A and B are shown apart, each in its own frame.
Chain A
Amino acid sequence: MKSVFLVDDSSTMLMSLKSTLEISGFKVDTASDGEQALGKLQAGLKPDLIITDINMPKMDGLLLIKEARKILRFTPILALTTESQATKRDEAKKLGASGWLVKPVTGSDLVRVVKQVLPGA
């Protein structure tokens, strides 16, 4: 079973995304900000996919992407954010993001993208 690591400061987002992905057959871990997420990755968590918000307290998503890439070089990282500015997207891409999703994303689209990024899921 493929695993997904969700990072978002919104409890409702974490719950809805977690439920959606678990129903679709994925194992899900969560973190409520970038700092907590980085801590889990440094502690040994090795997900098959990371989905992160951008605007978060303590450590934003862009910094998390940059730091996570040092630990997991080949793991796909998707940004799921309300931000629709091209500059932010380009910066995320430069730091190592694998994709950019603008909220709201339907559950079906999210599952489709996750399966597309994780062959064999």
Chain B
Amino acid sequence: MDEGADKTAVLSESVNVPSLDIDIDETERLIRRRRLIRWISRALVLIGAALFLALLHASAPEWLTLESAIWTVGALLVGLLAADFRFVRTSEPETVTEVVSHDLARLEQCFAILQKQVTVTIRTSETAVLETVSRLHRVHQRSAELHQNIMDAVSRSRHLSEASQHEADGNRATVATLASSQEAFVQARKENQERIRKVVEQVRHLTPLASLIGEISRQTNLLSINASIEAARAGAEGAGFKVVAAEVRRLSSQTAEAANQIRAGILAVAETIEGELAQASELDADGGAASQLTEVATHIAQISASLNEVVPYLVELSTNMNEGMEVITTDIIDAMGHMQFQDINRQLLEQVESALGSLSEHSAQLYALVGGNAPPPPEALEHLMERWVEGYVMEEQRIAHESIRSLGTQRHRKGQGQATDNGDVIENRPTVKPDDIQLAEPQVPKIELF
């Protein structure tokens, strides 16, 4: 009794239903006792009958032979045994009552078990959905962080590329300007060199003049010598002339010296200038700064061209990342929306749970009725079923209920059923298959704004 009560209390507490009213162990003991009493009473009947027949045979053997007595007792035994088999037993209220009582006692426990299973199903699915939604949220957060990091990197790269490209363009222009200036400078220098060559040439052209001056000086010197000779011939009258001749000789000597110096100076200047021109020509021969600048400008142009390719690539990458993130976000929120199935199932299962509870209560009331300890249940099962409809929250529930109920309330008429050997009629109840139940079409649109 205590163990049964403990089991009942634990089960009731876990499913939040009224405690079971039926003590199953006591019921089973009662049934076993009744069965024992029945067997004992039948054994007593059999023994009594055997004793009576034995006495009758002893007192009047001519009426009842021993063989007949034995056969009679045997027939009585077979009859008592046959009465316990189901296909002969017709309506023995005591046996039917025992079976119904036994099953009703178990029925309440069955309903409680099913209620518990439904509750476990609801809780399990709820836990799974909460975990799934939480994971989806975390996935989206991490995706968003990655997306932001990548977009920041792309943005920085793009800015750097654009800045580098701008700087490269600026440098290229500067280098081009430098190269242009350098070329102009080189050209100007060449022109200067050319002019200087011409000047040198013109200076060299002065060399014959120096020679002429020297010749003139030599001739003048000869004249002065001649004049001195003539002055000497002239004697005293030629003294003044001798002085002039000496002075002329002196001037011609100086002129010759000047002519030599001029010639030497012209040659030195020409050689010096030609030497400088030669050096300058050597510098131009090995390429110079202009060509190097041109090479630098070419490299800068190549860099700029590469940067021109990078920026559009980064723009395309940025666009793809944004589109990808939008797709991820849409998929995640749609997946979260699908989790609503759990709420729908929960509501369906809660209705089943409630119905099982009312059936459990009803079966306890039936058990009490069969035991003769209580009046009939206050509410018939048909009315109980109608009450379930009031709690439905979906049209599918109402349609399913009505489709089964309408099949089950068909009245059976005589002749429609299958007759048994003893004349009873077993009604032909149509079996209901799951495919027979049509799902309801919604009465309202899925989304409607007023």
Chain A residues near B (Cβ < 8 Å)? 8, 10-13, 15-17, 19-20, 23-24, 54-55, 81-86, 89, 93, 97-111, 113, 116-117
Contact = CB atoms under 8 A, between A and B. Distances in A.
Interface string B278-302: 0000000000000000000000000
19 contacts: A15-B134, A16-B133, A19-B140, A23-B332, A82-B343, A82-B344, A84-B440, A99-B448, A101-B448, A102-B442, A102-B445, A102-B447, A104-B341, A106-B338, A107-B332, A107-B337, A110-B333, A113-B447, A116-B449
A116 B448 CA distance: 12
Contacts of B126: 11-12
B394 interface: yes
A44 to B, nearest CB: 27
Contacts of A93: 450
Contact of B129 (A16, A103, A104): A16
Contacts of B316: none
B143 to A, nearest CB: 10
B137 interface: yes
Interface of B: 126, 129-130, 133-134, 136-137, 140, 329-330, 332-344, 346-347, 393-395, 440, 442-450
A82 B443 CA distance: 12
Contacts, number: 122
Nearest to B440: A84
Given A10-B346, A82-B344, A82-B394, A16 B446 contact: no
B334 A106 contact: yes
A62 B181 CA distance: 87
B450 A97 contact: yes
B343 A19 contact: no
A20 B136 CA distance: 10
A19 B137 contact: yes
- Those 5 A-B pairs whose CB atoms lie nearest each other, nearest first: A107-B333, A107-B337, A104-B340, A84-B442, A99-B449
A15 to B, nearest CB: 5
Nearest to A12: B129
A57 to B, nearest CB: 11
